Structure 1
Amino acid sequence: MTKKIRLKCFNAFLTKCFHNGWLAGVFWKNVNIRVDEEVKEGATEEDVYILRQ
């Protein structure tokens, strides 16, 4: 998740620079970066039972 968060922050930074007039174009919108995402498992019944105690 760290890579995805960093890429989103960098995208926001570049967009801010563009709106302030520091960059001439929006070159980063055409770049597609795929980040492998792990599928998070849901809580089991045992986990819920432990939390109730």
Structure 2
Amino acid sequence: MQPYTKIEFIEKNRLTATKYLNQLCSKDFLDKQKMGRSNYLLVSNRRKNNTKAFKY
């Protein structure tokens, strides 16, 4: 399992994938990091530290 994703990994429709991933970033589920020409979306530490956010 990877602790990150890229649009290219989940892309069926690039615009839809971008929209959904940006929504997850705005709700602190993911952090967007630009590396080179790619944006990597990492699992957010802010959300990890909030135990109410995840149910295991």
Fold agreement, TM-score > 0.5: no
TM-score (norm. length: structure 1): 0.38
Larger helix share, 1 or 2: 1
TM-score (norm. length: structure 2): 0.36
Larger strand share, 1 or 2: 2
Rg larger in 1 or in 2? 1
